Amino acid sequence: MTLTLVLGGARSGKSRHAEGLIEAAPGPWTYIATAQAFDDEMRARIALHRARRSSQWTTIDAPIELPQAMRAAPQGRPILVDCLTLWLTNLMLSDADVSAARADLLGACRAAQGPLVVVSGEVGLGVVPENALARRFRDELGALNQALAQAAEHVVLTVAGLPLKVK
């Protein structure tokens, strides 16, 4: 297993870069999506992501049960997880045990038998949020990103569409 963590801000090119990393391996590929389409704008974003992927991609929707979806994916097949930012949002809104979910995710990453690329937002570069929920989210995502970066063989930060090797 090779774990690559791709970080970046909103609209930084992290998803497109992650797709390119996976497509460098022989297909078919698995895309595990965590987004939920609650409005027209999000439905359009999801449609745009799907439209740019070829028929070699199989998409699995896993807004909350991400570790389980990773374990159920075909073994040895390259997997892209996009993204942890939305997954964490879904967990927090459902009052899930974030610490247990983080540990489960790390276990699923370690168990992956093929290339694994995980996308996450980098939220540690902005101002301190004004409300407690937003501060908790920032702290939880920071802890999740740090744990994955520690476990990953490669970490990439995308800025303005450019990948910057961190690890």
The pTM of this model reads 0.94
**Which residues are marked as active site?**
49
Please say if the pLDDT value at position 125 is more than 90: no
pLDDT at position 45, please?
83
Ordered domains of the chain (ranges, CATH): 2-165 (3.40.50.300)
**Res. 132 pLDDT band, cuts 50 70 90:** very high
Diameter of the chain by CA atoms? 46
At 83 the pLDDT is 95
pLDDT in tens, 87-114: 999 999 999 999 999 999 999 999 999 9
- Look at residue 131 in the predicted model and tell me its pLDDT: 94
The predicted pLDDT at position 46 comes to 80
| Residues 84, 136 contacting (CB under 8 angstroms) | no
Q: Rounded to an integer, what distance in angstroms lies between the CA atom of residue 162 and that of residue 167?
A: 15
Long-range CB pairs of 134-138 (<8 Å, 24+ gap) are 136/92, 137/88, 137/89, 137/92
pLDDT in tens, 12-67: 999 999 999 999 999 999 999 999 888 888 888 888 888 888 899 999 999 999 99
pLDDT greater than 80 at residue 163? yes
